[in-house]
Structure 1
Amino acid sequence: MPIDPAAFRTAWPQVVRSLAVSTRSLDSGEEYAAEAFARAAAQPDGAIEDLVGWCVRVGRRTWLDTVRHQAVFARLQPQLARPEVADVDVPPEPSDDLDDRLALLFVACDDALAPGAQLVLAMRVVCGLSIRQIAGHLGVAEATAAARLTRAKSALARARGEFAVPDGAARAARLPVVLACVAGLFTVGQRDGLQPADATQDPARDASTLAEALVAEYPDDPEVLGLRAVCRLGLARRPGRVRDGVALPLDEVDRSAWDGRLLSAGLDDATAALARVETPGRPGRFVLEAAISGVHATARDAASTDWPRLAQLYDALLHVWPSPATRVARLVVLGRVALHDGGDLAPIERELEDLLADGPPYAARDASLALADLARRTGRADEAAGRYRELLDVIPAGPLREFCRRYAGSP
Structure 2
Amino acid sequence: MAIPQSPLGLFGTDALIGEEDRAIRDTVRRYVEDKVRPHLAGWYESGEIPARDLAKELGGLGVLGMHLEGYGCAGTSATAYGLACMELEAGDSGLRSLVSVQGSLAMFAIWQHGSEEQKQEWLPRMAAGEVIGCFGLTEPDFGSNPAGMRTRAVRDGGDWVLEGTKMWITNGSVADVAVVWAQVQEGAEEKIRGFVVPTDTPGFTAPAIKQKMSLRASVTSELVLDGVRVPASAMLPKARGLAGPLSCLNEARYGIVFGALGAARDCLETALAYSGEREIFDKPLAGYQLTQAKLADMTLELGKAMLLALHLGRLKDAGTLTPAQVSLGKLNNVREALAIARECRTLLGAAGITLEYPIMRHANNLESVLTYEGTSEVHQLVIGQALTGRAAFR
Superposed pair shares fold, TM > 0.5: no
Question: Highest Rg: 1 or 2?
Answer: 1
Q: Which has the higher strand share?
A: 2
Greater relative CO, 1 or 2 (CA 8 Å, sep 6+): 2
TM-score with structure 2 length normalisation?
A: 0.28
TM-score with structure 1 length normalisation?
A: 0.28
